[in-house]
Amino acid sequence: MYKTMDDFDFNNKTAIVRVDFNSTVDPTTKRLLDDERIRLHSITIKELAAKGAKVVVLAHQGRLGDPDYTTLEQHAKRLSEILKSNVKYVNDLLGEKAVNAVKSLKQGEILVLENVRSLSEETAKKTIEEQSKTNLVKTLAPLGDVFVIDAFAAAHRAHASVVGFTVVMPTVLGRIMEKEINALEKIRSVENRPIVYILGGSKVKEGIEITEYVLSNDRADQILTGGLVAQLFLTAKGLDIGEVNKRTLTDKGLLELVPKAKTILDKYDGKVLLPVDFAVDSNGKRKEIQMINLPTELEICDIGEKTMEMYKKSLQNAKAVLMHGPMGVYEKDDFIKGTKAVFEEAIRSKA
């Protein structure tokens, strides 16, 4: 049985919390383009601070060398805006600057340390025991009282900041992690079928991994795809989605996932549903095109009307629905339509 934040007294204790701030950034300017995950984890961070903890935040953004790799300075600033309170940031993890910043924290204060993937040891292939002996854990664990794991989307990775602290410190689930695990337990306990997953958004690696896991374990009957997840699967199927869309996949280093996506499509034929029409950005306006119109030189920003209807039919008889990511660029008013239609149908379903 996992321990949660309800099982620990955080008052005047230093809590090292691992969250997942990994967000979409402009590959050229490195500017943060969305704050969905920061908003999500702010729930856990705010509660820890309210309970009197000294909060030390660990997170990653991209991988060293990838177009979406950045420091966490703008993430800390955005967290501060969301919480409407001061959030400290230091561009250090192991040095004096980081150690002194942690030691000087007062009750209710929040500190964001540097991107954990600035350390080569973070992603090194090691056992959990070996990860507990990394410089990161050896430096920070003695300064903390409890480790809060809240990075559900990264929890499957045996990285130093994810698993290393669990060996040497009391560990509890953060609120987001707790919610996701409870949802998975609910899905696992479902005996009635069908189980439908909605996988979209820009976190394609996670989408592919979730797809492979649930299908190989017979925990999904259909997977409805949107966003970049769908675009990768379409590419794996041999469809040309157009240079501007392929460039997005290339810039994010996602084309390396095409072979795995093709294997999934071949092995689980008919389980992964792909869009049959699309909404593209034509001079800032929504324009719907059919599959026959591919390749397109316009950016694909949403699923089309036919796809919405197809997905809604799949959801109507679902006994369980798990949603992970939007169908398109929901931040733009003209392209929220697919996400809204699919999510609303999921809420209305028998699940």
CATH number where 164 lies: 3.40.50.1260
Question: Is 184 contained in some domain?
Answer: no
Rounded to 5 degrees, φ, ψ at 48 are: -60, -45
* 198 and 167 housed in the same domain: no
| Whole-Å CA distances, 215 to 263, 264, 303 | 12, 9, 23
Distance CA 51, CA 44 (A): 11
**Per-residue model confidence (pLDDT) at position 302:** 97
Question: Is 185 contained in some domain?
Answer: no
Structure token digits, residue 129? 């025991």
Predicted TM-score (pTM) above 0.75 = no
* 163 and 19 housed in the same domain: yes
Burial class (CB in 10 A: 0-12, 13-18, 19+), 297: exposed
Total domains, the chain: 2
Per-residue model confidence as pLDDT tens digits over 214-225: 899 888 999 999
**Per-residue model confidence (pLDDT) at position 72:** 97
* 123 and 223 housed in the same domain: no
**Per-residue model confidence (pLDDT) at position 324:** 86
Percent of the chain with pLDDT over 70: 98
**Per-residue model confidence (pLDDT) at position 351:** 66
User: 115-119, 187-191, 308-312, 315-319: which range is least confident on average?
Assistant: 187-191
Residue 163: give the domain boundaries: 5-177
Distance CA 137, CA 168 (A): 9
Please say if the pLDDT value at position 334 is more than 70.
Answer: yes
Per-residue model confidence as pLDDT tens digits over 23-74: 878 878 888 888 888 999 999 999 999 999 999 999 999 888 888 899 999 9
* 37 and 147 housed in the same domain: yes
Per-residue model confidence as pLDDT tens digits over 254-303: 888 899 999 999 999 999 999 999 999 999 999 999 999 999 999 999 99
Question: Is 337 contained in some domain?
Answer: yes
DSSP letters along 237-283, please?
TT----HHHHHHHHHTT-GGGHHHHHHHHHHTTTTEE--SEEEEEET
* 103 and 77 housed in the same domain: yes
Distance CA 1, CA 3 (A): 7
Per-residue model confidence as pLDDT tens digits over 75-91: 999 999 999 999 999 99
Q: Which of 122, 145, 177 is the last residue of a domain?
A: 177
Rounded to 5 degrees, φ, ψ at 306 are: -65, -40
Instruction: Give me the sign of the Cα torsion angle 334, 338, 341, 346.
Output: negative
Quickly state the pLDDT bin for 137 (edges 50, 70, 90): very high
Beta bridge partners of 18: 58, 149
Nearest partner of 68 among 31, 41, 109, 116, judged by Cα: 31
DSSP letters along 167-230, please?
HHS-EEE-HHHHHHHHHHHHHHH--SS-EEEEE-SS-HHHHHHHHHHHHHTT--SEEEE-HHHH
* 49 and 168 housed in the same domain: yes
Question: Is 183 contained in some domain?
Answer: no
| Amino acid, single-letter form, for residue 105 | L
**Per-residue model confidence (pLDDT) at position 214:** 87
* 13 and 152 housed in the same domain: yes
* 62 and 198 housed in the same domain: no
Distance CA 30, CA 27 (A): 5
**Structure-token match 């699967």, residue found:** 233
| Whole-Å CA distances, 63 to 145, 246, 263, 335 | 29, 20, 25, 29
Arithmetic mean of pLDDT, 177-198: 81
